[in-house]
Amino acid sequence: MNRRDFISTTSAAFATTLLPSCTEQKKTLNVFTWADYLSEDAAASFEDKHDCKLVIDTFDSNEAMLAKLESGATGYDVIVPSSYVVKELQAKDLLLDLDHTKLPNLKNIDTTYLERALDSEMKVSVPYMLAPTCLAYLRTKVPDAEPSWSLLDREDLKGRITLLDDMREVLGGALMLLGFSLNSTEPAELEEAVKVAIRWKKNIAKFENEQYKTGIASGEFFLVHGYAGELLTVRDENGDIEVVIPKEGASFNCDDLCIPKTSKGVDLAHSFINHLCDAEVAAQNMEFIGYRAPNAAAYQMLTEDFRSSEILFPPDEIFAKCNPLAYLGDKLPLWTSAWEKVKNA
Amino acid sequence: MKSSRIPLITTLLVLAFFYLPIASLVLKSFNDARFTPEWKGFTWKWYERLLERDDIIFALLNSLKIAAVASLTSMILGTCAAFALNRYQSRLQDAHRMMINVPLVLPDILMGMSLLLLFVTTGISLSMGTIVIAHITFCLSYVTLVVLARLQDFDNGVVEAARDLGATRFQAFRKVTLPILLPGILAGGLLAFTLSIDDYVVTFFVKGPGTDTLPTHVYSMIKKSKELPVINALSTIMLIFTFLIVLTSQSLVRPINSKS
């Protein structure tokens, strides 16, 4: 090998390590989402159907993802933020308007959910997965429990309760107990909710976002406030646990599919969203993730066991009281100051 | 003199403090339950799932690649910086010293954000390369400080002796200076490797599509995944490898020490 050959081969080898995308002619779709938030089957069938490569990149909080996109990070074709963050991204003009002609499967989307979604016309986002934030208790330790936010006031559970360390969820629960909207921005209503939350704070062990799962599984806590996806998994391991949606209603959080304006593969991104709205794919995803996809056509394809979950598929009268957390916009300081009062009480 | 029991007790306490959490993690990787701390039966299923999880293996490989390149580069750059700081006394070097120290106390979030803004404004697209650059920036300071400490005890007389005996500058460096400094450089490199492999905050901001590292992937799995114990299995395997590496490196180092 002479020197010229050597230089050309080594520099080519070096260049390929730097630019892996150039050697590959296949199209790639970059999805910025949560880890384990797409079933392997759904990913594989998309790659086959469109002869492309799916690259999954993960984030662990809406706020971190938002900060990153706002600073100008690009390269993503589809992102999966929670609904209230979609509104914020939209307000900051970071999202592309969806082309419904490329999304025929939108007909499958469950209209009973859609009518109260934050983006009910699916202008920039399509709902992907939803799950309520609910309460879970140990049957043997909480006799004659009524599924209500008032459980948090029970004297006999003092020091054995955890609440999420999340102002939207805790003050939202207090607002619903009082009969107000969980997204209320009325100062008077928030004032009352603060009083309820302070009363709760005196009764609980702590505000807690991670340990409540093991806490209730091991019997350390009797009543916890947490995310349905996790609580249902814990319930499968400890038969004494009961998960309930309070009768006053709960927040039903949704993560949505959106396309950032900076996407370089808009067509493929639409195909991806359309693929996930396919009834069969949505059913696969639901069983894999353990959340509910608001896809009416997919419900009948679910296993009996999954479909009968009263938490993911609550009866109509309860579901009617469940709402997604709204984007507060410039009313946010009202909430943060209310939460401050609870935390400092 | 009667031997005291205190050293033994302290050793045991320290060992328990370090290794109890790790032991519980190893134990959990064989537990059939996801959340319940109680024993639900022995299982290999998390290890089996780990083998099927290409995304986790991919993230691990990314982390290893980044850590290897970042620690090697910062070893070279850090040693150069340490030499400059040790040899010259000037205003410029004072400024240099300060700028080496700043990243040690700078909050990660600030560093991640500023690097991201830099990459965005200069039009560099986010990739593995940007993560490596970011990791070098914070690893560099640690390597420099470790090597600098080593240099301060360094007896320049031996280099002068080598030069007097006819060694060229390069020979003196290669045969005298480098072997004496090598433990310090390697220690700095190892520190850099560990810092790089478990960095989350900076990495999150500068990573691009398809460059998830193990920490960013694990943090995300905590939120939605039903298979978190797979991470316990992975940690157990990594632990075994770490112990093996430490054991072999000790057996390699020992003969040299006993000779001197």
Distance of CA A75 to the CA centre of its chain: 22
Instruction: Give tens-digit pLDDT for A207-221.
Output: 988 889 888 988 899
| Start-to-end CA span in chain A (Å) | 77
Task: Tell if the CB–CB gap between B216 and A56 is shorter than 8 Å.
Answer: no
- Distances in Å between the alpha carbon of A312 and those of A79, A106, A243, B12? 23, 21, 11, 50
Q: How confident is the model at residue A11 (pLDDT cuts 50, 70, 90)?
A: low
**And the tokens for B158?**
């031996």
Please say whether the beta carbons of A147 and A247 come within 8 A.
yes
Kindly state whether A36 is in contact with chain B, defined as any CB-CB distance less than 8 angstroms.
yes
pLDDT at A23 over 60: no
**pLDDT for residue B2:** 67
**What pTM, to 2 d.p., does this model score?**
0.85
Rounded to whole angstroms, the Cα distance separating A233 from B132 reads 38
Pick B257 or A79 by higher pLDDT: A79
Backbone angles phi, psi at A97, to 5 degrees: -70, 135
Q: Which residues of B fall within a CB distance of 8 Å from A58?
A: 212, 216-217, 220-221
**pLDDT for residue B13:** 93
Task: Tell if the CB–CB gap between B224 and A34 is shorter than 8 Å.
Answer: yes
Task: Tell if the CB–CB gap between A58 and B216 is shorter than 8 Å.
Answer: yes
- Distances in Å between the alpha carbon of B210 and those of A32, A39, B69, B216, B231? 9, 18, 18, 12, 20
- ipTM at complex level: 0.83
Interface size, chain A vs chain B, as Cβ–Cβ contacts under 8 Å: 106
Write b or e for each residue in B97-127: b if 16 or more Cβ atoms lie within 10 A of its Cβ, otherwise e. eeebeebeeeebeebbbbbbeebeeeeeebb
For A28, the 3-state DSSP assignment is strand
Q: Which residues of A fall within a CB distance of 8 Å from B219?
A: 60
Q: How confident is the model at residue A5 (pLDDT cuts 50, 70, 90)?
A: low
Q: Which residues of A fall within a CB distance of 8 Å from B117?
A: 71-72
**pLDDT for residue B165:** 93
**And the tokens for A102?**
């490329």
**pLDDT for residue B39:** 83
Q: Which residues of B fall within a CB distance of 8 Å from A72?
A: 116-117, 120-121
For A79, the 3-state DSSP assignment is strand
Of A35, A64, A74, the CB nearest to B221: A35
- Distances in Å between the alpha carbon of B224 and those of A33, A169, A288, B219? 11, 18, 11, 10
Task: Tell if the CB–CB gap between B205 and A71 is shorter than 8 Å.
Answer: yes
Kindly state whether B39 is in contact with chain A, defined as any CB-CB distance less than 8 angstroms.
no
* Strand blocks (E) in A10-158: 27-33, 52-58, 78-79, 125-138
A223 bridge partner residues:
A137, A161
Rounded to whole angstroms, the Cα distance separating A255 from A318 reads 21
Instruction: Give tens-digit pLDDT for A148-172.
Output: 999 999 988 999 999 999 999 999 9
Q: Which residues of B fall within a CB distance of 8 Å from A35?
A: 55, 217, 220-221, 223-225
Rounded to whole angstroms, the Cα distance separating B61 from B55 reads 10
Whether the domain at A3-129+254-313 and the domain at A131-251+323-344 fall into the same CATH topology? yes
Distance from CA of A28 to the nearest CA of B (A): 10
A162 bridge partner residues:
A206, A224
Task: For strands A125-138 and A241-244, give the pairing.
Answer: antiparallel
Distance from CA of B230 to the nearest CA of A (A): 12
**pLDDT for residue A39:** 93
Q: Which residues of A fall within a CB distance of 8 Å from B37?
A: 214, 217-218
Task: Tell if the CB–CB gap between A35 and B38 is shorter than 8 Å.
Answer: no
**pLDDT for residue B253:** 63
Task: Tell if the CB–CB gap between B126 and A73 is shorter than 8 Å.
Answer: yes
Rounded to whole angstroms, the Cα distance separating A34 from A241 reads 27
Q: Which of A14, A60, A61, A255 to mutate to test the interface with B (most CBs of B within 10 A)?
A: A60
Rounded to whole angstroms, the Cα distance separating A72 from B94 reads 35
Burial class (CB in 10 A: 0-12, 13-18, 19+), B154: middle
Of A58, A72, A229, the CB nearest to B217: A58
Q: Which residues of A fall within a CB distance of 8 Å from B220?
A: 34-35, 58-60
Spatial CB neighbours of B202, under 8 Å, sequence gap ≥ 6: B108, B111, B112, B115, B134, B135, B138
Task: Tell if the CB–CB gap between B221 and A74 is shorter than 8 Å.
Answer: no
User: Packing angle between helix A167-177 and helix A332-344, nearest 10 degrees?
Assistant: 90
Of B126, B129, B223, the CB nearest to A18: B129
Query: How would you write the pLDDT of chain B (260 residues) with one tens digit per residue?
Result: 567 889 999 999 999 998 898 898 898 899 888 877 778 889 999 999 999 888 999 999 999 999 999 999 999 999 999 999 998 888 998 999 999 999 889 999 999 999 999 999 999 999 999 999 999 999 999 999 999 998 988 888 999 999 999 999 999 999 999 998 998 899 899 889 999 998 999 999 999 998 999 999 999 988 888 888 898 899 899 889 888 888 887 776 665 444 44
Q: Which of A58, A128, A164 to mutate to test the interface with B (most CBs of B within 10 A)?
A: A58
Task: Tell if the CB–CB gap between A35 and B55 is shorter than 8 Å.
Answer: yes
**pLDDT for residue B1:** 57
Rounded to whole angstroms, the Cα distance separating B111 from B201 reads 9
Distance from CA of B208 to the nearest CA of A (A): 7
Task: Tell if the CB–CB gap between B223 and A32 is shorter than 8 Å.
Answer: no
Please say whether the beta carbons of A145 and A154 come within 8 A.
no
* Fold (CATH) for A3-129+254-313: D-Maltodextrin-Binding Protein; domain 2 (3.40.190)
Burial class (CB in 10 A: 0-12, 13-18, 19+), B16: exposed
Of A18, A55, A64, the CB nearest to B204: A64
Distance from CA of B21 to the nearest CA of A (A): 16
Q: Which amino acid is at B222?
A: I
Of A72, A73, A290, the CB nearest to B226: A290
pLDDT at A206 over 90: yes
Domains of chain B: 57-214 (1.10.3720.10)
Task: Tell if the CB–CB gap between B224 and A71 is shorter than 8 Å.
Answer: no
Q: Which amino acid is at A211?
A: Q
Q: Which residues of B fall within a CB distance of 8 Å from A56?
A: 55, 212
For A242, the 3-state DSSP assignment is strand
Backbone angles phi, psi at B122, to 5 degrees: -85, 0
Instruction: Give tens-digit pLDDT for A120-146.
Output: 999 999 999 999 999 999 999 988 888
**pLDDT for residue B87:** 87
Supply the DSSP string of A121-164, one letter for each residue: T-SSEEEEEEEEEEEEEETTTSTT--SSGGGGG-GGGTTSEEE-
| Start-to-end CA span in chain B (Å) | 30
Helix/strand/coil (H, E, C) string of B140-177?
A: HHHHHHHHHHHHHCCCHHHHHHHHHCCCCHHHHHHHHH
Distance from CA of A238 to the nearest CA of B (A): 8
Kindly state whether A91 is in contact with chain B, defined as any CB-CB distance less than 8 angstroms.
no
Rounded to whole angstroms, the Cα distance separating A185 from A331 reads 7
- Where in chain A are the domains? 3-129+254-313, 131-251+323-344
Rounded to whole angstroms, the Cα distance separating A116 from B61 reads 43
Rounded to whole angstroms, the Cα distance separating A92 from A105 reads 28
Kindly state whether B63 is in contact with chain A, defined as any CB-CB distance less than 8 angstroms.
no
Pick A20 or B11 by higher pLDDT: B11
Task: Tell if the CB–CB gap between A36 and B126 is shorter than 8 Å.
Answer: no
Rounded to whole angstroms, the Cα distance separating A251 from A249 reads 7
CATH assignment of A131-251+323-344, among 2.70.98.60, 3.90.1150.10, 3.30.390.10, 3.40.190.10? 3.40.190.10
For B9, the 3-state DSSP assignment is helix
